[in-house]
Structure 1
Amino acid sequence: MKKFLIKSGCRNSPLSLIQTNNSLNKIKEDLPSIEFEIIGLKTFGDINKDLALDDKKTPLDLFTKELDDGILRGDYEIAIHSAKDLPPKLPNEMEYFWLPWQEVPGDVVILRKGDTIDSLKENPIAGTSSERRTDYLKKKFPDAKLVAIRGTIDERIQQLDDGKVDLLLMAEAALNRLNIQDRITYKIPLSELPPPEGQGKIAITYLKDNPIGKTLKKLYTHPVIFVGAGTGDPELITIKGQKAIKAADCILYDALANPDLLNYSSANCQNIFVGKREGQHSMQQDLITNLILQKVRQGNKVVRLKGGDPSIFGRLTEETSSLQQADLPYQIIPGISSLNGVTLSGGISLTSRNINQSFLTATATTQNASDNKIDEYAALKQPTVFFMGFKQLPTIQKIFLNHQWEPSTPIALISQKFETYTLRGTLENIVDKVKEANFSSPALILIGDFAHLENDISSPTLILNKSRILLTGVKESIASLKSSIENAGGIPISWPLLQLIPQKNIHEHLSKMNDYSLIILTSPSAVRIFFQAIKKHQILIPKDIEFGVTGPSTAEELMLNGVYPNYIPNTDFSSVGLINELKKVSWKNKPVLLPRSDIGGKALEEFFQKQTETFAFTLYENKSKAQPPELPSFGTILFTSPSCIERYLEQYRPSTLANKIIGCIGKVTEKKALEKNLNVSFVSSESTTEGLVKSLINFTTNDKLNSIL
């Protein structure tokens, strides 16, 4: 096999040489035909160790300028850096990317050998070299005297051992690479001291037109995925788009992309809002583009989530052209445009044999006023659909009337930011109607006979008759409620007030399943988290172990994982109902495993403890999920657990539930509602989401019949 030599520059500190060798060896594993020659050199920061890193006068390219200069001179093809050392802006001729491997990103406390944090003297001297670590030390060791410390890792540790400082803060990755992990006294949790983005990562820089750097970048970066988010309904996204969201490390999403779509993303995904909210400034397009470039160069799987279809007035080409110029690949996944999705939701068919066979679609807002062609569109006398025209409505009205359109010409405005509102009128009165209705953007504007109420294709109302129903709870229970409510004609409003946080040590308990005869799972969420841990840690389920569940929803989730429950109540779908079923069997010498939530009841545990060895452990914690302080408009609210009621009343006043229809799932939830002095309208006879929706439909039907009779 022919060998190729690539010259590589790096700092000549022991740590830099080690991490450069490690990184290049990993590249050689992928590309065995390559050999590397490492050229080490001192940078300005290595020579001037008296400079404070957090001093604003210290140059940002403290550790990179000499390496950049070497690339510009042609001394070597690529340079290897600690990613966190790269300045925000490189020389114009240069490009960079991060390698995909990462050491542990956190920070550690280092003391002299034999010392502990508890044994530190009063007013210890703490050495640090960054503003971030300084802030942490002030909180964690408020009586410490802080001093700036520079030098290589070995030099700083020597100052500690010589007694010049009493404690140090360093990156754990540095000690791992130097194989001196034994000097770590305490690993700081990431939640206490979040690391900078590039800590533990390695970056490569090169000249933009260098074919070697360009080829390596293509190997180690992912394409940006542009995903059409559809018209606001989170279920109207393509399967391919959903898969891209699930796989993403970073999602940049617009105001017209339903935030519920982010529920498909992983727990570690970084979700960044880059759209415009009413009354606030939007992120400028060039900043969005630069953010995309930055995230993909850092090795992230980036999804750019755009409302509707990215190619229809979505400023797609402005973002793809920047990626083309940077030689970064991308893919485009189309979405359902508001052109067809919103118009159908608003009851309008864009074409009809007896009304129109064609239509014109355009934007009413352009970057330069001189480019606006509303006058030309009006002259064509075609049925017209305007995007981004709400603020231009008075202008549109005036121009179309000036072109001799009949004042009685039907016009409809359809707004759908996650829900559909249609306002109809005529060219003559539509501006006044918008003011009267307090109608707001975003909205499509449709002008022509297809917008007439007589041509409305909306379905006759169903039993829930567009009732606005607020759904609390966790996102999983909300998802199971939404389609049933929509099928009955209601408008579900997703408003999760709880989130479930799986415990980190689940696998330690599940790896001992062979010691048990029965596992009890009391909710669909418990089943999901249980099997996520099973799959993640590749734990085998013993063939002879049995499962008990509290109801059909939990049983259905269990069966989706290929396991059938041995014990399930016939009617009372609760812990009490399951206990009544389990009483039919002797549990003597049959150990039981009880994975449960942190707020789960003790009834099952107490039942088994009287008969056999029982081990209950926390599978997940219920945490509050903050929602905006202003509630959306709703007439009905559904509570799926006592925790939902508590979390709602933590965030909102009880008066917000006055004159609302309140539904509860099961007697336990009803009991909590009554404790809180809420006026419960109905309770599901079955403690299932299906039973809750059925009870809502029955309540609404009875109410309608009472009004008729």
Structure 2
Amino acid sequence: MSKGYVYLVGAGPGDEELITVKGLRCIQEADVILYDRLANPALLKNKRDEAECIDVGKSPKRHAYTQEEINELLVLQAHKGKTVTRLKGGDPYVFGRGGEEALALRKARIPFEVVPGITSAIAVPNYGGIPVTHRNVSTSFHVITGHEDPLKEKSSVNYEALAKLEGTLVFLMGVGNLEEIVNQLRRYGKPKETPIALVHQGTTAKQRTVTGTLESIVTVVKEKKITSPSVIVIGEVVRLQDELNWFESLPLHGQRILVTRTREQASQLSTKLKALGGDVVEYPTIEIRPAQDIEGVNAKLKRIHQGDYIIFTSVNGVKAFFERLKALKMDVREMGPGKLVAIGPATAKALEEKGLLVEVIPETYVAEGIIDCLKESIKEGDKVFLPRANIARKALNEGLEALGAQVEEIEIYETVLPVQGEQHLRELLVEGIDWITFTSSSTVQNFMDLLGKEDRHLLESVKIASIGPITGKTAKKLGLPVDVQAKEYTIAGLVQAMMEVQ
């Protein structure tokens, strides 16, 4: 068996987007991933389906594995011929014990590579509105461990020297020893008025920053209940925090938002919400599957060239349609001369990416908008194909038939309840959710089916955001008050509506 290979990867300070391109590739290619408590678990969604994940995280009060056991596990997995990615918070070599792991691999003659990560010593103060250096304020910064080996008889931190420095002091892993750090600096002459900040869970949507002086900070931290993980920043640069606190000023900062779209589609909405500071939890309430009656679908697709119009009402419909064409080895030219209609810009874009131009997009992105758009152009006897979901509303069919069209519906995909525990949904709501977003009637219906009547009280303080009137109507019918409804029935419109009420 060939010898394995180990990547010691810095996962960055917390935000999943602050990992390097190379670090992400190491996750994607790994057979085994050993990850830390401080590495964002959302990064694991980039792994291969068959990759094994092992939580080796250590917290101040809990060690799932000792460092020696982690070293042994790296060697063991590599000896099996596996590609191993060791995912570590921040940078592997900045108080991450990456050097110890590298030495263990070298001793075992295991080939390895170290992939640097963005250290929390710089990134977390940045997100807290504090530059670690600033012209005419601080020309140096110094990174110090706030958590030394408890077995050491004497501290190796020279507080006397640190107290005399005019640069910025950054302590990592020091919350538990904050009082000792402050007392030692003051003991050796650091003025009690010196500004100090703690940034808790930096670069994440749960980030909180508190400030004070060496004299007051211990009391402030107790009152604000600041715990680990937090980065301590000491120095005159802290005075810039009020003006430069860009991250905690984002409109959705600290808001916990449940996204109920399909797993494949959630990323677009999630990305927009995260960019505005939201703490996004993806809990898909629908899953897209191919239609059961494949033969019936195939037969209709082989007649698609007969259509005067082909109307697409979702991106999912476009995707399923072209997947089926590919399976049938049908060329797009076999779609015939029929005019293409898309319910909205996202659906139109999906068609344009296939090289097709859309002739009709309604002003309002609902079935009624399509009917209003076509009422002057559809002639008696025109053939209309509708590739759509099995549970789609019949309003479009009925409206087109009323105009004299011959409608042939193609149930090209199905929306079903995903296989996931209702208990997990209950746990999320108990932990606290500020917003739930719904992007279709099926996401609402399935959500309520999963929740059950006995747990509806968990929604009492939750705000509901709907992508449009049809989805909103379904929510209200099921007893959910809609707090926000998009004016433009798109993902961008939904996000904009949520921002306007903050």
Aligned positions of 1:288-299 closer than 5 A: 288-298=70-80
What residue in structure 1 maps to residue 487 of structure 2? 685
What residue in structure 1 maps to residue 137 of structure 2? 355
Alpha carbons of structure 1 residues 630 and 296: separation in structure 2 relative to 1, 3 Å: same
Q: Distance in 2 between matches of 1:486 and 1:657?
A: 22
204, 208, 212: which is aligned to 1:421? Answer: 208
What residue in structure 1 maps to residue 55 of structure 2? 273
What residue in structure 2 maps to residue 339 of structure 1? 121
Q: Does residue 1:495 correspond to 2:281, yes or no?
A: yes
What residue in structure 2 maps to residue 675 of structure 1? 477
Shift of 1:310: 2.5
User: Conserved in 1, the CA contact under 8 Å of 2:312 and 2:386?
Assistant: no
Q: Which has the higher contact order (CA 8 A, sep 6+)?
A: 2
What residue in structure 2 maps to residue 571 of structure 1? 363
What residue in structure 1 maps to residue 251 of structure 2? 464
What residue in structure 2 maps to residue 257 of structure 1? 39
One-letter code aligned to 1:265? K
One-letter code aligned to 1:256? L
What residue in structure 2 maps to residue 93 of structure 1? none
One-letter code aligned to 1:623? P
1:452 is paired with a residue whose SS is helix
Shift of 1:494: 1.2
Alpha carbons of structure 1 residues 570 and 277: separation in structure 2 relative to 1, 3 Å: farther
What residue in structure 2 maps to residue 473 of structure 1? 260
Aligned positions of 1:622-637 closer than 5 A: 622-623=417-418, 625=420, 626-627=424-425, 629-631=427-429, 633=432, 635-637=434-436
What residue in structure 2 maps to residue 400 of structure 1? 185
Aligned positions of 1:300-699 closer than 5 A: 300-370=82-152, 373=155, 375-380=157-162, 381-382=164-165, 383-416=168-201, 418-419=204-205, 420-452=207-239, 456-459=243-246, 464=251, 466=253, 468-474=255-261, 475=263, 477-485=265-273, 490-498=276-284, 501=287, 503=289, 515-517=303-305, 521-525=312-316, 527=318, 541-545=331-335, 548-559=341-352, 561-566=353-358, 568-578=360-370, 581=373, 584-585=377-378, 592=385, 594=387, 596=389, 599-601=391-393, 611=406, 614-618=409-413, 621-623=416-418, 625=420, 626-627=424-425, 629-631=427-429, 633=432, 635-646=434-445, 648-649=447-448, 650-651=450-451, 653-699=455-501
Shift of 1:428: 1.8
Q: Distance in 2 between matches of 1:301 and 1:450?
A: 43
* More deviation, 360-369/244-253: 244-253
One-letter code aligned to 1:571? E
Q: Distance in 2 between matches of 1:277 and 1:568?
A: 57
Q: Distance in 1 between matches of 2:287 and 2:250?
A: 37
One-letter code aligned to 2:438? F
1:495 is paired with a residue whose SS is strand
User: Conserved in 1, the CA contact under 8 Å of 2:90 and 2:117?
Assistant: yes
Write the deviation string for residues 589-637 of structure 1: whole angstroms up to 9, x where unpaired. Answer: 96847353x6544556778998365442335644165457154555444
Q: Distance in 1 between matches of 2:313 and 2:27?
A: 30
* More deviation, 618-627/315-324: 618-627
Q: Distance in 2 between matches of 1:531 and 1:267?
A: 25
Q: Distance in 2 between matches of 1:280 and 1:398?
A: 27
One-letter code aligned to 1:689? I
User: Conserved in 1, the CA contact under 8 Å of 2:10 and 2:87?
Assistant: yes
User: Conserved in 2, the CA contact under 8 Å of 1:548 and 1:565?
Assistant: no
Q: Distance in 1 between matches of 2:332 and 2:94?
A: 54
One-letter code aligned to 1:573? Y
Identity %: 31
Shift of 1:461: 8.0
Write the deviation string for residues 366-399 of structure 1: whole angstroms up to 9, x where unpaired. Answer: 3344276464144333331111111111221222
Shift of 1:349: 0.5
Write the deviation string for residues 136-183 of structure 1: whole angstroms up to 9, x where unpaired. Answer: xxxxxxxxxxxxxxxxxxxxxxxxxxxxxxxxxxxxxxxxxxxxxxxx
User: Conserved in 1, the CA contact under 8 Å of 2:200 and 2:228?
Assistant: yes
What residue in structure 2 maps to residue 199 of structure 1? none
TM-score (norm 1): 0.58
Bigger-Rg structure (1/2)? 1
Shift of 1:357: 0.5
2:158 is paired with a residue whose SS is helix
TM-score (norm 2): 0.79
Alpha carbons of structure 1 residues 528 and 234: separation in structure 2 relative to 1, 3 Å: farther
Alpha carbons of structure 1 residues 501 and 324: separation in structure 2 relative to 1, 3 Å: farther
Q: Distance in 2 between matches of 1:372 and 1:343?
A: 29
Q: Distance in 2 between matches of 1:437 and 1:227?
A: 33
One-letter code aligned to 2:363? T
Shift of 1:430: 1.6
Q: Does residue 1:240 correspond to 2:22, yes or no?
A: yes
Q: Distance in 2 between matches of 1:449 and 1:544?
A: 70
Shift of 1:552: 1.2
Alpha carbons of structure 1 residues 593 and 665: separation in structure 2 relative to 1, 3 Å: closer
Alpha carbons of structure 1 residues 520 and 257: separation in structure 2 relative to 1, 3 Å: farther
Alpha carbons of structure 1 residues 276 and 630: separation in structure 2 relative to 1, 3 Å: farther
Q: Distance in 1 between matches of 2:200 and 2:369?
A: 47
Q: Distance in 1 between matches of 2:156 and 2:451?
A: 47
Q: Distance in 2 between matches of 1:252 and 1:628?
A: 29
Q: Distance in 2 between matches of 1:338 and 1:330?
A: 24
Alpha carbons of structure 1 residues 614 and 484: separation in structure 2 relative to 1, 3 Å: closer
Q: Which runs of 5+ in 2 are unaligned?
A: none
One-letter code aligned to 2:130? I
What residue in structure 2 maps to residue 100 of structure 1? none
Shift of 1:655: 3.4
Q: Distance in 1 between matches of 2:351 and 2:169?
A: 52
Shift of 1:422: 0.7
Q: Which runs of 5+ in 1 are unaligned?
A: 1-96, 98-216, 701-709
Task: Give the alignment's Cα RMSD to 1 decimal.
Answer: 3.9
One-letter code aligned to 1:569? I
One-letter code aligned to 1:542? V
Q: Distance in 2 between matches of 1:402 and 1:569?
A: 72
Q: Distance in 2 between matches of 1:534 and 1:329?
A: 47
Alpha carbons of structure 1 residues 656 and 339: separation in structure 2 relative to 1, 3 Å: same
Q: Distance in 1 between matches of 2:67 and 2:329?
A: 47
Q: Distance in 2 between matches of 1:592 and 1:313?
A: 62
2:86 is paired with a residue whose SS is strand
Write the deviation string for residues 412-446 of structure 1: whole angstroms up to 9, x where unpaired. Answer: 11112623211111222222211111111101111
Aligned positions of 1:6-155 closer than 5 A: 97=1
Alpha carbons of structure 1 residues 500 and 486: separation in structure 2 relative to 1, 3 Å: closer
Q: Distance in 1 between matches of 2:186 and 2:478?
A: 59
Q: Distance in 1 between matches of 2:443 and 2:127?
A: 31
- Kindly tell me the number of residue pairs found equivalent between the two proteins: 477
Shift of 1:411: 1.3
2:387 is paired with a residue whose SS is strand
Q: Distance in 1 between matches of 2:334 and 2:188?
A: 80
Shift of 1:318: 3.1
Q: Distance in 2 between matches of 1:587 and 1:284?
A: 76
Write the deviation string for residues 334-365 of structure 1: whole angstroms up to 9, x where unpaired. Answer: 32221221111001010011211012102122
Q: Distance in 2 between matches of 1:277 and 1:671?
A: 47
* More deviation, 279-288/452-461: 452-461
User: Conserved in 2, the CA contact under 8 Å of 1:567 and 1:578?
Assistant: no
